[in-house]
Structure 1
Amino acid sequence: MIERKYGKYYNLKRIKRLMRKLGITSSIRRKRKGCTKSGYSNYEENVLGRDFTAKAPDLYLCHSSFQ
């Protein structure tokens, strides 16, 4: 703010020291907490009716390649 208004640059340590000397404190904004919706499920209904259960280990493998 000082830089924009007056075109002068000061070190943050100097500003902290001056604020401490004058008894000024800055208001710190708190981080917004995320919220989760209750009853929300990550799984969707199997609309296509595909069978995703493996009959044996390593029977179905998935691979995606980008070129």
Structure 2
Amino acid sequence: MFYVKNVTSGERVLRVAAGLLAAAIAWLGVGGMAGALLAASAGGIAATGLFGFCPMCAMFGRRLDKVKKNGTL
């Protein structure tokens, strides 16, 4: 694995739900450039939830405290 997960389980569920909601809003109501931007944002939000890794959180140094007793992740 090339990345370490930095999004908690609860936050992952919220991100996927928010991504699906934003995609539904973009698909049903918003047209033009705003709809395209909202759909692209929805894809990014849902992807961070599905993969459990947020690049922006990593840039700010966010890590999960999941160190086992032997010192490995």
TM range (shorter): under 0.3
Higher helix share: 2
Tell me the TM-score normalized by structure 2: 0.25
**Structure whose alpha-carbon radius of gyration is higher:** 1
